[in-house]
Structure formats: structure tokens, C-alpha cells
């Protein structure tokens, strides 16, 4: 008997101790692309501010938005990172739960299409990427017929298809099988890929409608988790494979992989900053306004992040692969920060 | 099995053998015997081959982990002569002022001092590349050293500060200097500076104590497993405290008091089914019930322990029931016969005798729980957490989670640290199993 009373006591105690506790460190969720930058800022902040170091979870942009927009209160995260802007459906979710938020842009990133250094370096157009990845393509017999399952199995076939569709000469891609690892649907990089490569490439091919939205399911497009290190390992093991991921990961692994030129533009820091690279995109984080002043250190953390010493040209995020904002964009972020 | 069939069929075919002379019968038996001996020999060889294969794989696994990870026991450090300006850090009484120290630009101080050894490096970009030889946390490293010493020395003193992870990889021979500069993380000019300080004896490999005293960090050289070990230990304490009493009570009830019938059968089937449910399902349950309904904190080892307790509960129930059943009925009958109540029989006589079996089941369950990451994802324990947890509601990760996070990191140096963390996990497991064996020996009764 004593035994069971003790157990019941322990359980009751745990629930009481755990429930509705005040939180004294910031809780951050969201994009795995922003994660490496946010963690660097969080650690510096923890070392120098005297506040506790924020806790950061890498949930993917979509997963982060879901958690962030669930409600106001200590059990919900304070900040969510995103590698794309918040969708209107997510903004509605937030509004329904009474969550007020402020958007910040932290810098720029480029979506890389990479393969192993042992493979051939590609110089392709985003039209090639779209034609290689779309689930269904029209005009595969080049006769104006309607869309059917994508049957372009090698890059040479993709090359021929794009050349025909755009009325240009083939660029001589090899007859190597199409095999591309893409991020999962919860990832912001996947969304960015959808709009920057698939949608824009679709247009370039002279196609209409929303056929670009669905990716191939015949094994040419391989969905991998949020584990970017795994993608690098696989690329090294198979030189015919391509992978889609953020610039910082490419930058850290230059000795293993190379990035394809897209529309003739090399993936590098300058071309991302100038948005010449077609895969360039901004990175965001969203702050829950109601948590300002409730969770200790919120204001100080944002001050640490939105600062020249973190995000600037000489900032500590630059070596990690974050491309700084243009001066006027940066000024806008500082203004937004000061208005909080 | 085969032999048996053979005898049956052959005896039917050669029924006449019974009347045959002894010598013929003996020859027939000898031939069969040879076959049977060969068969059992083959079986033995298969068994040995199976064990050898298993041991072979284990050896490959261990060798890979150890050869990848043992270098993480050391960390490259660089000697920098630094004149720490005492008046910027100490208060009026000459004691280090924590606030002043925190706000002081230690990074700048370390990098400035380091550059003094290289008067020939002048350009801004070059100076920056030179600074990259040191850890991004070199300033923090120095601050910790000075705060630990308690006093600020006067004049220039040589301190050993951590190098960057790239230099660490280079020093340990894990970076190929011969490949094209563009593809190398350490550039040619940095190699020249590195070789210079190596020649001066200003670089050393020192024991990486940070690994055992710190929690996660963005810089591999500042990252450690202590946070994850404490997190795992806390979660397991909760797991044992919850799962063991609940499981033992459930098992005793099912074995002794439950009236036979459909309801009992139903419960029994469900307990067995629960033992096979994928662990992520328990994570989802934890998210919905503990976080959603009870509003418990995210990322806390308390919640992690509760989720893992749910997961290990069926394992312990099944093991406990089996070991209760293994206690001879004579013990039970004797106790009841002497007038003990069913409760006294169960608690005073059967459970103590079943304890070694219960312990084994518990340890198997706990070892399983120690290796779980999937249910922890849902309740937020898969996260970047820099502070070592000090209470059950502080955010924490667990050891396997830490290994997962590091092996997913871009920096190459995290890879070796992940391997060392795997070794730490194995040690944790071995020590737990050892305790179980010792306890079992202590409680074991023979009859």
C-alpha cells in the first residue's frame, strides 16, 4: 500500500511541478537552414549577456510555423526561423490563435544544386531543373500533346526536351541518369525550390498551369529528411547524384561537392548578395510580440542578432555562410527591431 | 528432426533387417551413426560461423567508432602571449567583476595579442584569416581561464587557447594539405602561419577536458557531452521511478488477483501489443497529453522520462510476470498454508525471490530507453542546448540525441566528437549492465 501511495504521490508531484512553469530561457523553433546561424547567435548571447542560452529546435520551416502559431503563453515557442516568408495560410493560423508577430530578414542564402567533385560540373538552366523534376510533362513526343508522366530518364533526354521546348541548341548534357535528392515538404528550402526553380523553370519552358507543383515519384527525385550531412555522404558515394540544399552547407563542404551553375551564374557569395543567382533567397525569423518583456532576454537576443557584429560583412555569421543584407534592407530590420 | 525421419523411413524400407545377421545390422547402424554425427558437426559449424559473423561486425563497428573518435580526446591549443588589462576587469578591491568581465571584448584581446607574433601580416583580410586559426570561442576560453584563476596577472603571460576546428583537423592529420587550395578549408597563407607556430612550439595537443565538462556548442572545440549525460541520467531516473513500481504492481495484480476472464485476457493481449508499438507513437502521446493537456514544459527531462516510462512499462511488466511465475509454487503454498494473506505472500515471499528477474527486465527496458531518440523529437528534446541542466524541468537533450545532432552538423570536427560520444554512450550502457549483474548476483537465491 505504502508503495502505491508513494507512486501516486510521485506522479501527482511531477504533474504539479511540470505544469504551468515560468520559463527563463528563449525557445526557438523552425528552419534547419537558419538553425546553424541562430545557434551561433544564441551561444554568443549566452556567453556575453548573462541570460540563459536560448534553446533551439530544428523542426523545418513548416513545422516551426505550426508550433509558433499555436498560441500565446510560455508553453509555446517565442521565435520561429524560416527559410521562406510566412504563407497566408500560416498567418491566418497565427491570427486565429491571437498570435501577433514581427518579421525579420536576417540575410541571404542560395539554394545549391550540387554533385560530387568526382562528377561532371553542370552549367544548366532552371528549365532543366524543372524538366528533370516535374512529375508530369506535356509535349514529351514534341507534338503538343497533353501532360503525362515524366519519362526523361537521363540528363541527355532532359537536355533534348528543354532545347526543343525553348527552341535553343542542346548544351550537351551527358547520358547519366536523373537522380536528385530534394528536401522534404516541411522544409522551407523545398518551398524555395518550388518557387525559384520549378515555377520559374516551368515558365521558361513556355508551359502554363501548376503542373510544376508535383515532383516525380518514379525515383528520379529522392526525398530525404532534414539531414544535410547525409546528403553530402550520399553525393560523395554516387557521382551521378545531385542534391538540393542551402549555401552554408555547400560552403562547409567545398572539398567534397561542387555547385552547378544555374542560368550561367556561379553559386557564390557575390551572386547571392546581388540576387543574380536564380536560387538566391532571403532568410527570416518571426518574433512573437506578446512574449516581449515576458520571457527574459527577448529584446537583448534580437539586438544581438540584428546587429552589424552578427549579420554584417565583418560579422561572425559571415564565415558560417550567411550572406549579409544590402545596407538599406539592413536599416529596415534595425528600424523594425527598434519599433518592437 | 531429419535423423528421426530417416530412421522411420529406413526402418519401414528395410523391415527385414530385424531378421538379418548381427554384422549386417551393425553395418547399417554404423552408416546411420556417421550421417548423424556429420549432421551435428555441421550444426556446430553453422553456429560458430554465425557467432563469428556477429563478432566480426561488432569488431568492425567498434574499430570504426574508436578510430574515428579517439582523436577527439585531444584538442589543439595555441600559445598566445597576452597582457590582460586588469583595470578593465577587476573592481575597486582587485576582485574580478563578473559583469565587467562579461562585457569586455575578450575576442579582440586574444586576436590582437596573437597578431603581434606576426608583424609581417598587415592587410585587413590577411589579419582576419590569421585570426581564423584561433577558435571563434578563443576569447571566451581565455575569460574562463582567468575567471577560474580568480586573479588577473600583471604583465604579459602565455596562455594556451583553443585553436579553430579546422586547425584541429589539420593538426590531427584529418585534412589533406595536398588538394587544390580552392577546395581546402585552410588556405595556403594560413598553412604557412600554422607551420611557423608549429616550428616555434606554440601548438600542442592537450587533453580535451571541455568534452566532459561542457554541453553542446556551435564550435566543435567548445562542445561537450556533460549536458547530454546529465539529461539522459535525469530522464532515466524519472523512467525508473515511474515504470518500475507501476509495472511491478500491474504484474502482481495480473498474476495473483486478476479474475480469469475476457477483461484480463484483453489487458494481457494489450500489454503484449504495447511492447511492440514503435517508440515515436509514445512521443506523440507525450506531446498530446503531457505538453498539450497538462501544459508541462517542452524539452524537459521530466517529460522525456515520463514518455520513456510509458515505453518501457510493457517490457518490465512482461519480465516481472515471467519471473513471478518462475518462483516455485511450493513457496507460495507454504506461505498461504502458514496463514499469510495473499498480499503478504506476494510482497514478502514471492517478490523478493523474483527480484533478480525483475531487475534484469528493468535493465533491458532502461537500456532501450537510453538509446531512444524518436519519442524525444516530439517533446522538444532534440534541440540545441548550451546550458547543463540543473533541474528536472530545465531544457535538456539525451546522449543519442547529441550524437544525432553532431553527426548532422556541417563542421567536420563534430564527426569525431560524435564518435567519442558514441563511446561515452556505450560506457554508460556497460556500467548500467554491470550494476545489474552485480545486483542480480547479490539477490539471487538457489534452491
pLDDT digits (tens, 9 = 90+) for B9-51: 444 455 567 778 888 888 888 888 989 999 999 999 999 999 9
Between CA B169 and CA B21 the distance in angstroms is: 82
Residues in A closer than 8 angstroms to B218, CB to CB, are 36, 39-40, 43
A250: closest chain B residue by CA: B410
Q: Is A9 inside any structural domain?
A: no
Residue where one domain finishes, among candidates A260, A280, A300 = A280
Whether residue A141 has pLDDT greater than 80:
no
CB neighbours (10 Å) of residue B348?
Answer: 12
Whether residue B367 has pLDDT greater than 60:
yes
Report for A4-8, A90-94, A161-165, B272-276: range of highest mean pLDDT? A90-94
Q: Which of A19, A46, A47 sits opposite B295 (nearest CB)?
A: A19
A30: closest chain B residue by CA: B383
B218: closest chain A residue by CA: A40
CATH code (residue A157)? 3.40.190.10
pLDDT (tens digit per residue) in A184-242: 888 888 889 998 999 999 988 888 878 888 899 888 999 887 667 788 888 999 999 99
Cβ contact (<8 Å) for A254 and B182?
Answer: yes
Q: Is A18 inside any structural domain?
A: no
Count of the separate structural domains present in chain A? 2
Burial degree of B261 (CB within 10 A; 0-12, 13-18, 19+)? exposed
Task: Give the distance from residue A135's alpha carbon to the nearest chain B alpha carbon, in angstroms.
Answer: 30
Between CA A52 and CA A298 the distance in angstroms is: 11
Q: Which of B140, B303, B411 sits opposite A18 (nearest CB)?
A: B303
Q: Which of B102, B179, B299 sits opposite A48 (nearest CB)?
A: B102
Residues A162-188 as b/e (b if ≥16 CB within 10 A, e otherwise) read bbebeeeeeeebeeeebbbbbbeebbb
Task: Give the distance from residue A320's alpha carbon to the nearest chain B alpha carbon, in angstroms.
Answer: 10
**Pair A63, A146 in one domain:** no
**Pair A122, A73 in one domain:** no
Residues in B closer than 8 angstroms to A25, CB to CB, are 387, 395
**Pair A297, A149 in one domain:** no
pLDDT score, position A107? 93
Domain membership of residue A242 as a residue range: 110-280
Residue where one domain finishes, among candidates A230, A257, A280 = A280
B219: closest chain A residue by CA: A40
pLDDT band of residue A16 (cuts 50, 70, 90) is: low
A23: closest chain B residue by CA: B297
ipTM here: 0.78
pLDDT score, position B446? 66
Pairing between strand A221-223 and A55-56?
unpaired
pLDDT (tens digit per residue) in A171-199: 889 999 999 999 888 888 888 999 899 99
pLDDT (tens digit per residue) in B167-206: 999 999 888 888 888 778 888 899 999 999 999 999 999 9
Cβ contact (<8 Å) for A229 and B185?
Answer: no
A227: closest chain B residue by CA: B408
- In the 3-class helix/strand/coil scheme, how is B340-362 assigned residue by residue? CCHHHHHHHHHHHHHHHHHHHHH
Question: C-alpha grid cell for residue A193?
Answer: 525550390
Q: Is A270 inside any structural domain?
A: yes
pLDDT (tens digit per residue) in B7-16: 444 444 555 6
**Pair A101, A124 in one domain:** no
Residue of A14, A63, A180 lying closest to B300 (CA atoms): A14
The H-assigned helical ranges of B287-412 are 301-325, 329-337, 342-344, 351-370, 374-378, 399-407
Q: Is A2 inside any structural domain?
A: no
Gyration radius of chain A's alpha carbons: 23
Between CA B380 and CA A55 the distance in angstroms is: 9
Between CA B412 and CA B414 the distance in angstroms is: 5
Cβ contact (<8 Å) for B408 and A228?
Answer: yes
Q: Which of A6, A21, A53 sits opposite B297 (nearest CB)?
A: A21
Residues in B closer than 8 angstroms to A248, CB to CB, are 410
Q: Which tops the pLDDT comparison, B218 or B12?
A: B218
Cβ contact (<8 Å) for A23 and B184?
Answer: no
pLDDT band of residue B121 (cuts 50, 70, 90) is: confident
- A4, A39, A60, A63: which to substitute to probe chain B, counting the most B Cβ within 10 Å? A39
Cβ contact (<8 Å) for A43 and B103?
Answer: no
For the entire predicted model, the pTM comes to 0.82
Task: Give the distance from residue A207's alpha carbon to the nearest chain B alpha carbon, in angstroms.
Answer: 38
Scanning the structure block, which residue is given the C-alpha cell 548544351?
A171
Whether residue B438 has pLDDT greater than 80:
yes
Task: Give the distance from residue A144's alpha carbon to the nearest chain B alpha carbon, in angstroms.
Answer: 45
- The three-point CA angle B251-B255-B261 to 5° equals 115
Residues in B closer than 8 angstroms to A75, CB to CB, are 291, 295-298
Whether residue B273 has pLDDT greater than 60:
yes
DSSP state at residue A210: S
B384: closest chain A residue by CA: A56
Cβ contact (<8 Å) for A55 and B385?
Answer: yes
Residue where one domain finishes, among candidates A280, A295, A327 = A280
pLDDT score, position B8? 46
pLDDT band of residue B421 (cuts 50, 70, 90) is: very high
Q: What is the mean pLDDT of residues B231-255?
A: 93
Q: Is A94 inside any structural domain?
A: yes
**Pair A237, A145 in one domain:** yes
**Pair A291, A275 in one domain:** no
Task: Give the distance from residue A222's alpha carbon to the nearest chain B alpha carbon, in angstroms.
Answer: 19
B379: closest chain A residue by CA: A57
**Pair A150, A270 in one domain:** yes
Cβ-based contacts under 8 A for chains A and B: 122
Decide if B445 contacts B197 (C-beta within 8 A): no
Cβ contact (<8 Å) for B218 and A40?
Answer: yes
CB neighbours (10 Å) of residue A96?
Answer: 10
**Pair A101, A132 in one domain:** no
Q: What is the mean pLDDT of residues B393-412?
A: 88
Task: Give the distance from residue B289's alpha carbon to the nearest chain A alpha carbon, in angstroms.
Answer: 11
The H-assigned helical ranges of chain A are 2-18, 35-49, 61-68, 88-96, 126-133, 155-166, 188-193, 200-204, 228-237, 247-252, 269-273, 298-305, 308-311, 327-339
**Pair A119, A91 in one domain:** no
Residues in A closer than 8 angstroms to B390, CB to CB, are none
Residues in B closer than 8 angstroms to A30, CB to CB, are none
Q: What is the mean pLDDT of residues B73-95?
A: 88
Lowest mean pLDDT among A41-45, A59-63, B394-398, B405-409: B405-409
pLDDT score, position B11? 46
Q: Which of B242, B392, B393 sits opposite A11 (nearest CB)?
A: B242
Q: What is the mean pLDDT of residues A102-130?
A: 93
Q: Is A20 inside any structural domain?
A: no
Please provide the average confidence, as pLDDT, over all residues in chain B. 88
Between CA A17 and CA A3 the distance in angstroms is: 21
**Pair A190, A297 in one domain:** no
Q: Is A207 inside any structural domain?
A: yes
A27: closest chain B residue by CA: B298
**Pair A218, A128 in one domain:** yes
Task: Give the distance from residue A20's alpha carbon to the nearest chain B alpha carbon, in angstroms.
Answer: 6
Residues in A closer than 8 angstroms to B302, CB to CB, are 14, 17-18
Cβ contact (<8 Å) for A75 and B298?
Answer: yes
Q: Is A6 inside any structural domain?
A: no
Between CA A43 and CA B255 the distance in angstroms is: 54
**Pair A47, A79 in one domain:** yes
Amino acid at each position: 500500500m505504502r508503495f502505491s501511495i508513494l507512486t501516486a504521490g510521485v506522479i501527482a508531484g511531477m504533474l504539479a511541478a511540470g505544469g504551468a512553469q515560468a520559463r527563463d530561457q528563449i525557445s526557438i523553433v523552425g528552419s534547419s537552414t537558419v538553425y546553424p546561424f541562430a545557434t551561433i547567435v544564441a551561444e554568443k548571447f549566452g556567453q556575453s549577456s548573462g541570460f540563459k542560452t536560448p534553446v533551439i529546435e530544428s523542426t523545418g520551416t513548416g513545422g516551426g510555423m505550426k508550433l509558433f502559431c499555436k498560441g500565446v503563453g510560455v508553453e509555446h515557442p517565442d521565435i520561429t526561423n524560416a527559410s521562406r516568408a510566412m504563407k497566408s495560410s500560416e498567418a491566418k493560423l497565427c491570427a486565429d490563435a491571437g498570435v501577433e508577430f514581427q518579421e525579420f530578414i536576417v540575410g541571404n542564402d542560395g539554394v545549391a544544386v550540387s554533385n560530387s567533385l568526382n562528377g561532371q560540373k553542370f552549367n544548366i538552366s532552371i528549365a532543366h531543373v524543372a524538366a528533370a523534376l516535374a512529375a508530369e510533362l506535356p509535349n514529351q513526343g514534341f507534338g503538343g500533346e497533353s501532360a503525362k508522366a515524366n519519362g526523361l530518364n537521363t540528363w541527355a533526354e532532359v537536355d533534348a526536351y528543354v532545347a526543343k521546348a525553348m527552341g535553343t541548341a542542346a548544351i550537351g548534357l551527358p547520358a547519366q541518369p536523373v537522380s536528385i535528392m530534394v528536401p522534404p515538404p516541411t522544409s522551407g528550402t523545398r518551398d524555395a525550390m518550388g518557387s525559384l526553380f520549378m515555377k520559374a523553370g516551368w515558365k521558361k519552358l513556355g508551359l502554363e498551369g501548376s503542373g510544376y507543383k508535383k515532383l516525380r515519384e518514379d525515383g528520379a527525385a529522392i526525398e530525404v529528411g532534414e539531414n544535410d550531412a547525409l546528403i553530402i555522404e550520399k553525393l560523395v558515394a554516387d557521382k551521378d547524384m545531385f542534391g538540393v540544399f542551402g549555401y552554408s552547407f555547400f560552403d562547409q563542404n567545398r572539398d567534397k561537392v561542387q555547385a552547378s551553375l544555374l542560368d550561367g551564374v556561379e553559386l557564390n557569395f557575390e551572386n547571392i548578395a546581388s540576387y543574380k543567382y536564380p536560387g538566391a533567397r532571403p532568410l527570416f525569423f518571426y518574433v512573437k510580440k506578446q512574449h516581449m518583456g515576458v520571457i527574459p532576454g527577448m529584446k537583448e537576443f534580437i539586438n544581438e542578432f540584428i546587429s552589424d557584429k552578427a549579420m554584417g560583412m565583418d560579422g561572425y555569421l559571415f564565415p558560417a555562410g550567411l550572406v549579409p543584407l544590402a545596407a538599406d534592407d539592413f536599416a529596415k530590420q534595425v528600424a523594425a527591431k527598434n519599433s518592437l | 528432426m531429419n535423423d528421426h525421419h530417416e530412421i522411420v523411413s529406413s526402418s519401414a524400407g528395410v523391415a527385414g533387417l530385424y531378421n538379418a545377421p548381427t554384422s549386417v545390422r551393425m553395418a547399417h547402424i554404423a552408416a546411420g551413426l556417421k550421417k548423424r554425427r556429420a549432421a551435428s558437426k555441421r550444426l556446430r559449424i553453422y553456429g560458430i560461423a554465425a557467432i563469428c559473423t556477429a563478432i566480426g561486425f561488432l569488431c568492425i563497428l567498434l574499430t570504426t567508432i574508436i578510430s574515428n573518435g579517439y582523436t577527439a580526446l585531444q584538442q589543439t591549443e595555441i600559445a598566445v602571449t597576452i597582457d590582460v588589462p586588469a583595470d578593465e576587469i577587476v573592481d575597486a578591491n582587485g576582485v574580478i567583476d563578473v559583469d565587467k568581465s562579461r562585457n569586455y571584448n575578450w575576442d579582440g584581446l586574444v586576436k590582437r595579442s596573437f597578431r603581434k607574433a606576426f608583424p609581417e601580416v598587415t592587410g585587413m583580410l590577411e589579419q582576419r584569416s590569421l585570426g581564423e586559426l584561433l577558435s571563434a570561442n578563443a576569447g571566451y576560453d581565455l575569460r574562463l581561464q582567468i575567471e577560474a584563476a580568480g586573479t588577473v596577472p600583471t604583465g604579459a603571460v602565455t596562455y594556451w587557447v583553443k585553436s579553430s576546428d579546422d586547425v584541429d583537423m589539420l593538426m590531427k592529420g584529418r585534412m589533406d594539405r595536398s588538394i587544390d587550395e580552392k577546395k581546402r578549408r585552410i588556405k595556403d597563407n594560413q598553412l604557412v602561419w600554422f607551420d611557423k607556430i608549429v616550428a616555434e612550439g606554440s601548438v600542442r595537443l592537450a587533453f580535451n577536458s571541455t568534452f566532459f565538462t561542457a554541453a553542446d556548442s556551435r564550435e566543435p572545440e567548445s562542445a561537450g557531452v556533460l549536458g547530454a549525460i546529465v539529461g539522459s541520467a535525469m530522464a532515466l531516473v524519472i523512467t525508473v521511478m515511474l515504470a518500475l513500481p507501476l509495472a511491478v504492481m500491474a504484474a502482481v495484480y495480473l498474476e495473483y488477483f486478476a479474475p480469469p476472464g475476457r477483461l484480463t485476457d484483453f489487458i494481457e493481449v494489450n500489454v503484449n501489443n504495447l511492447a511492440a508499438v514503435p517508440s515515436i507513437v509514445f512521443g506523440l502521446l507525450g506531446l498530446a497529453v503531457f505538453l498539450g493537456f497538462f501544459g508541462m514544459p517542452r524539452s524537459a527531462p521530466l517529460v522525456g522520462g515520463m514518455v520513456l516510462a510509458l515505453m518501457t512499462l510493457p517490457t518490465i511488466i512482461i519480465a516481472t510476470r515471467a519471473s513471478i511465475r518462475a518462483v516455485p509454487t511450493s513457496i507460495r503454498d507454504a506461505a498461504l498454508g502458514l496463514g499469510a494473506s495473499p498480499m503478504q505472500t506476494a510482497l514478502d515471499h514471492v517478490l523478493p525471490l523474483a527480484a533478480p528477474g525483475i531487475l534484469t527486465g528493468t535493465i533491458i527496458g532502461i537500456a532501450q530507453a537510453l538509446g531512444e531518440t524518436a519519442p524525444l523529437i516530439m517533446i522538444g528534446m532534440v534541440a540545441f542546448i548550451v546550458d547543463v541542466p540543473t533541474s528536472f524541468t530545465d531544457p535538456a537533450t539525451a546522449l543519442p540525441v547529441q550524437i544525432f545532432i553532431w553527426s548532422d552538423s556541417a563542421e567536420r570536427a563534430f564527426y569525431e566528437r560524435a564518435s567519442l560520444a558514441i563511446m561515452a554512450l556505450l560506457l554508460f550502457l556497460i556500467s548500467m549492465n554491470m550494476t545489474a549483474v552485480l545486483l542480480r548476483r547479490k539477490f539471487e537465491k538457489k534452491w
